[in-house]
Amino acid sequence: MSTRIVVVGGGTAGARLAQRLPVTLLGEEPHVPYNRVLLADVLAGRYAPEVIALPETREPVRLGVRAVRIDRAARTVECADGSLVGYDRLVLATGSNPVLPPLRGLRGAELPEGVHAFRTLDDCLVLRDRVRPGVRAVVIGGGLLGVSAARALAALGAEVVLTQQGERLMERQLDTYASALLREHMEALGVEVHTECRVSGLRQRDGEVTAVELADGFVLDAQVVVLACGVRPRVALAREAGLDVGTGIVVDDELRTSDPYIHALGDCAEHRGRVYGLAGPALEQADVLAEVLVRDVPAAESSRYSGTRALTRLTLGGAQPLDLASFGEATPQPGDDVVQLTDATRSAYRKVVVRGDRLVGGVLLGDLAAVGTLARAWEGDEALPEAPLLHLLTHDGGS
Ligand SMILES: Cc1cc2nc3c(=O)[nH]c(=O)nc-3n(C[C@H](O)[C@H](O)[C@H](O)COP(=O)(O)OP(=O)(O)OC[C@H]3O[C@@H](n4cnc5c(N)ncnc54)[C@H](O)[C@@H]3O)c2cc1C
Pair 12, 35: CB distance under 8 Å? yes
Q: Provide the H-helix boundaries in 156-272.
A: 176-188, 236-240
| Radius of gyration of the chain from its Cα atoms, rounded to whole angstroms | 22
Query: Which atom number of ligand 1 is nearest to the Cα of residue 15?
Result: 25
Percent of the chain with pLDDT over 90: 72
Contact 143 CB / ligand 1 (< 6 Å): no
CA of 333 to the centre of ligand 1 (A): 33
As a whole number of angstroms, the distance between CA 8 and CA 59 comes to 14
Most ligand 1 atoms within 8 A of CB, residue of 23, 26, 37, 128 to mutate: 37
Compute the mean pLDDT over every residue in the chain, rounded to the nearest whole number: 91
Is 250 a residue whose pLDDT tops 90? yes
Task: Name the band, by pLDDT with cuts 50, 70 and 90, for residue 27.
Answer: very high
Contact 66 CB / ligand 1 (< 6 Å): yes
As a whole number of angstroms, the distance between CA 279 and CA 282 comes to 5
Pair 347, 191: CB distance under 8 Å? no
Is 272 a residue whose pLDDT tops 90? yes
pLDDT digits (tens, 9 = 90+) for 187-198: 999 999 999 999
Other Cβ atoms closer than 10 A to 332: 17
pLDDT digits (tens, 9 = 90+) for 276-330: 999 999 999 999 999 999 986 555 556 899 999 878 888 776 667 888 999 888 8
As a whole number of angstroms, the distance between CA 194 and CA 216 comes to 12
Other Cβ atoms closer than 10 A to 190: 13
As a whole number of angstroms, the distance between CA 101 and CA 90 comes to 32
**pLDDT score for 300:** 53
Q: In 3-state terms, what secondary structure has residue 115?
A: strand
Q: Tell me, what amino acid is at 348?
A: A
pLDDT digits (tens, 9 = 90+) for 136-162: 999 999 999 999 999 999 999 999 999
CA of 242 to the centre of ligand 1 (A): 23
CA torsion, ordered 399, 397, 362, 272, to nearest 10 deg:
30
Q: Residue range 160-178: average pLDDT?
A: 94
Most ligand 1 atoms within 8 A of CB, residue of 94, 118, 323 to mutate: 94
Q: What predicted TM-score, i.e. pTM, was given to this entire model?
A: 0.93
Higher pLDDT, 36 or 322: 36
Is 369 a residue whose pLDDT tops 90? no
Burial of 130 (0-12, 13-18, 19+ CB in 10 A): middle
**pLDDT score for 145:** 93
pLDDT digits (tens, 9 = 90+) for 59-117: 999 999 999 999 999 999 999 999 999 999 999 999 999 999 888 888 777 889 999 99
Is 398 a residue whose pLDDT tops 50? no
Question: Hey, whose CA ends up nearest to atom 50 of ligand 1?
Answer: 37
**pLDDT score for 318:** 64
Which residues, in sequence order, are bridge partners of residue 203?
211
Contact 277 CB / ligand 1 (< 6 Å): yes
Q: Residue range 357-380: average pLDDT?
A: 85
**pLDDT score for 399:** 43
Most ligand 1 atoms within 8 A of CB, residue of 19, 99, 278 to mutate: 278
